[in-house]
Structure 1
Amino acid sequence: MTTALPERDGHEAVVTLDRREGPYGEVVLRQRGRDFEIIANGCFLMDTADGRSERLLIQAALDELDRTGGPVERPSVLIGGLGVGFSLAYAAAEPRWGRIAIVERETAIIDWHRTGPLGAFSDGALEDARVEVLHTDLLEYLAAADGERYDALCLDIDNGPDWTVTESNDGLYGADGLAVLWHRLRTGGVLAVWSAQPSPAFEEALRAVGFSDVVTHEIPVARGVPDVVHLARRAG
């Protein structure tokens, strides 16, 4: 059953399409006009209004690999977070990527892509032979002792290093989590991290655990501070 909410500030009515209670709390899919929104535990996570920063997350990592030749000819990429599907669709549309693994812990989000309205935004990428959906928690997957190494790690988890909705995600952006990310990259590999706001402290944290070539790309948004993609490399 869908629930129509009153119009707010002259904008379109909001319709709740699905609401799930899972091990990490409540996840909601809403529609606002032509756009869809994902809400986690009452906090807005993302919508389909503008996917520029999610696409840049993938493109910036590939450009950085190209800049120095990259570890291999057809690099592998791990995408942390399926979200509304922009990052995955953009990666799958690029034939230069080899293996494309995407980690998503929320069953509901995977369902909304496989059989729901978000499939239009992942654009059939889940059927690509290079794509594997890993239905698990990213931190648990990364911490596995026998874990696979990747040429690129592209993370769109929560709202970024300085503003996490799920408390456990804080560990990903601290020194221990960044050390795990460093070890999960092949030598010469690239880390790209999406954030809802710039974070000089996160840049310093990346350098402190051994990442090099740390840069931040800003993406202007309609209101407020820009979205950003933090980029770093494992040099050795």
Structure 2
Amino acid sequence: MATRKCVLVLAAVGVLAVGGCASGSTPPVAAPQGASPSSTASATAAATAAKTAPAPAPKTVAPPTGVAVKGCTTDQVNVIVGESSGAAGTLVQEMDVHNTSAVTCTLTGRPFVSVYGKVPQGGGTVEATLGGVAVGQIPSTFGQLGAAATPQNLTHGDYAVFFLKWSQVPVGSKPCDKADGYAFRTPADASVSHLVAFAFTVCGGEVQVSNFMSKSSGF
């Protein structure tokens, strides 16, 4: 009858009943065949590390070959005041244009620049466009800074440069203009301008601007 009783219990509760029939106690759970304590610990540590490891940062992907690169909008770039140079009253200022967007874009030609400063209004002054300062292009005869326009493709984080050129030598009795900066806009964007703070004094009533160039063209 003992044997029959064990068979009935086995059918009811499965594997644990086999141990109960044999010895009256629950057997220990064995590790998988071929595993050792050290290998089990290593596997557990690896699984924990995989769960806690940070996800890799997304990569910037350049446009596929044959796909046209769009012109940079004003909001895709940031202008940083770079190095300056000059002699005999003529000053040249490098401006670095940084692609802060996640996509590749291009700059071709020269930027829109409008010089601003303090203008009388009512009983005080306001910051506004200096009507007495014209903006032209650096001539081709002015060395490398007068070079023709070439496309500057910028991936995320890349830079291009352009240059401002002006005179600090008064012309006749005409007063010089004190500028506090300039409005900047890319050639591909007519919707918005950024104000770049940059104090300088313009004599002769003109500021000249170069085309966009590679960062290696900077000072």
TM-score bucket (shorter structure): under 0.3
Give the number of the structure whose residues are more often strand, by fraction.
Answer: 2
Give the number of the structure whose residues are more often helix, by fraction.
Answer: 1
Larger radius of gyration: 2
TM-score by length of 2: 0.21
TM-score by length of 1: 0.20
Higher relative contact order (CA 8 A, sep 6+): 2
